[in-house]
Amino acid sequence: MIAAEVSMVDDRSGGPVPDDGLPAETRQRMIELLAAEFGTAWQTAVASGADPDDLAEYVDDRRRTVESIPQPDDLDDCR
């Protein structure tokens, strides 16, 4: 679901937005597109009767799950 990804999007090096040589403008555009998609999905869910507090809790849970996934620099610690 896009909610988890959007809740994690940031522009810090090493963050969920890939920092693999993409220009800052490209990363920023990715953030804008994901945020717009998330906003539309959120509005659709609320209009369909979803509780905004439940949605926020779900997004927060997914964000924590994604944050717990080891990043490439942390993989050496997992071996």
Q: Domain residues for 7?
A: 2-78
Q: Domain tally for the chain?
A: 1
Q: How confident is the model at residue 5 (pLDDT cuts 50, 70, 90)?
A: very low
Q: Is 36 exposed, middle or buried (0-12, 13-18, 19+ CB in 10 A)?
A: exposed
DSSP character at residue 5: H
Q: State the Cα–Cα distance between residues 35 and 9, nearest whole angstrom.
A: 9
Q: What pLDDT was estimated at residue 46?
A: 95
pLDDT of amino acid 67: 84
Q: What is the pLDDT of residues 9-51, one digit of tens each?
A: 554 445 555 556 778 898 899 889 999 999 999 999 999 999 9
